[in-house]
Amino acid sequence: MTRHFLRDDDLTPAEQHEVLELGMAFREERQFRQPLGGPRAVAFITDKPTLRTQLSFATGIAELGGFPMVVDGNLAQIGERESIADTTRVLDRQVAAIVWRTYGDDRIQEMASVSRVPVVNALTDGFHPCQILADLLTIAQHRGGVAALPGQALAYVGDAANNMANSYLLGGVTAGLHVRVAGPDGYLPDPTIVARAQEIAAETGGSVTVTTDPVEAVRGADAVATDTWVSMGAEAEAEERARPFVPYQLDAALLAEAKPDAVVLHCLPAYRGKEITADVIDGPQSVVFDEAENRLHAQKALLSWLLERP
Ligand code: NVA
């Protein structure tokens, strides 16, 4: 059966562990193989702005021996000019995998339901699972390797209802982390995501905390993350979002609540003076550019894993 990666919980804990170990191997250049050697094309389609995601997928696909076929979603107009199903049936005859950044999760779910090749979520309104693989790799890189992930505490502060929060919840507990998210009332995660994360946590030994208190989330954490207060597609809400998030800014005082050697994560782009202060993102605990680099290693690992499955 064709496997897809649309949400963080599409990988079991054991499978996520395999992918992360493979990502570490790619990081350390112990292993260089070309499962796409041929070359075979992988489509990268984006309906939203992108820098890191396009760069890391295109570079990674080329490094795996494949050809990155970058498609501008504005030209393809998937679901408008042509149905999602028909587009998918054209794509899956020509490419080894489809990587899609789009809006509604229903769109990528529809593609996956038709596609005979793996479909990978390169960010939707609901999830950003490839980013979380990179974040887990970054925590592993700085804090004892993949095997040391279970039991570590990851705090996320800010817009706790966005794609990053959902993915931290699902992907974090899959790795056995204690995931604590804090955001203002009205910007807390959907209860169905929290329930799913709790279910996975019961299996892995991780845990889930959802709170409106940023200090409760960050206290004693091993990693502290935040994200923009205004995600792509929510630009019209920028004004109404400006005030409620102010107490959740990741500044030096909030970071001081975490472990002294905690790492700071941000998926980027970052808005200094909004969700994070310049001294924190540019400070000694920040690993955000390792995190950006790890997109490459994590996604190479994921694509290899998906395409080399028997
Ligand atoms: N939550 C952000 C992540 C950007 C990589 C967004 O969806 O715009």
Same domain, 275 and 299: no
Q: What are phi and psi of 225, to 5 degrees?
A: -125, 155
Atom of ligand 1 at shortest range from CA of 125 = 7
Name the residue of 56, 103, 156, 164 to mutate for ligand 1: max ligand atoms within 8 A of Cβ: 164
In sequence order, which residues have a C-beta less than 8 Å from that of residue 177 and are 6 or more positions away?
A: 149, 150, 151, 152, 153, 154, 206
Same domain, 267 and 196: yes
For this structure, is 131 an active site residue?
yes
For this structure, is 198 an active site residue?
no
Same domain, 77 and 194: no
Domain assignment of residue 105, yes or no: yes
- Chain mean position to CA 16: 13
Same domain, 118 and 34: yes
Q: What is the pTM of this model?
A: 0.95
* Domain range for 95: 13-127+295-308
Count helices and strands (H / E) in the chain.
13, 9
For this structure, is 267 an active site residue?
yes
Same domain, 45 and 186: no
* Residue 22, number of CB atoms within 10 A of its CB: 21
Name the residue at shortest CA distance from atom 6 of ligand 1.
231
User: Which of 4, 27, 128, 266 is the catalytic position?
Assistant: 128
Domain assignment of residue 251, yes or no: yes
- Please answer whether residues 146 and 20 qualify as being in contact, where contact means their C-beta atoms are separated by less than 8 angstroms: yes
Same domain, 103 and 161: no
Three-state SS at 237: helix
Instruction: State the complex-level ipTM.
Output: 0.98
Q: How long, in residues, is the chain? A: 310
Same domain, 213 and 239: yes
Domain assignment of residue 198, yes or no: yes
CATH number at residue 109: 3.40.50.1370
Q: What are phi and psi of 72, to 5 degrees?
A: -80, 115
Name the residue at shortest CA distance from atom 2 of ligand 1.
231
Which class for 235: exposed (0-12), middle (13-18), buried (19 or more C-beta within 10 A)? exposed
Same domain, 303 and 284: no
Same domain, 211 and 71: no
Per the DSSP assignment, residues forming a β-bridge with 265 are 225
Same domain, 86 and 158: no
Name the residue of 128, 135, 181, 241 to mutate for ligand 1: max ligand atoms within 8 A of Cβ: 128
For this structure, is 219 an active site residue?
no
Atom of ligand 1 at shortest range from CA of 268 = 5
- Show binding-site residues for L-ornithine: 163, 227, 231-232
Number of domains in the chain: 2
- 165 C-alpha to ligand 1 centroid (Å): 10
Domain assignment of residue 259, yes or no: yes
Three-state SS at 266: strand
Domain assignment of residue 3, yes or no: no
pLDDT in tens, the chain (310 residues): 899 999 999 999 999 999 999 999 999 875 667 777 777 899 999 999 999 999 999 999 999 989 999 999 999 999 999 999 999 999 999 999 999 999 999 999 999 999 999 999 999 999 999 999 999 999 999 999 999 999 999 999 999 999 999 999 999 999 999 999 999 999 999 999 999 999 999 999 999 999 999 999 999 999 999 999 999 999 999 999 989 999 999 999 999 999 999 999 999 999 999 999 999 999 999 999 999 999 999 999 999 999 987 6
Query: What is the Cα–Cα distance from 260 to 274, expressed in whole angstroms?
Result: 23
Same domain, 145 and 271: yes
Name the residue at shortest CA distance from atom 3 of ligand 1.
231
Query: What is the Cα–Cα distance from 63 to 275, expressed in whole angstroms?
Result: 34
Residues with CB under 6 A from ligand 1: 123, 128, 162-164, 227-228, 231-232, 267
- Please answer whether residues 55 and 62 qualify as being in contact, where contact means their C-beta atoms are separated by less than 8 angstroms: no
Domain assignment of residue 58, yes or no: yes
Query: What are the E-state strand segments in the chain?
Result: 41-46, 67-72, 97-101, 119-121, 153-157, 178-182, 207-211, 223-226, 263-266
Name the residue of 227, 291, 299 to mutate for ligand 1: max ligand atoms within 8 A of Cβ: 227
Residue with tokens 């804990």: 13
User: Which of 101, 180, 196, 266 is the catalytic position?
Assistant: 101
Same domain, 98 and 187: no
Domain assignment of residue 4, yes or no: no
Query: What are the E-state strand segments in 204-302?
Result: 207-211, 223-226, 263-266
Domain assignment of residue 6, yes or no: no
Atom of ligand 1 at shortest range from CA of 267 = 5
As given in the structure block, the two tokens for residue 263 are 């790492």
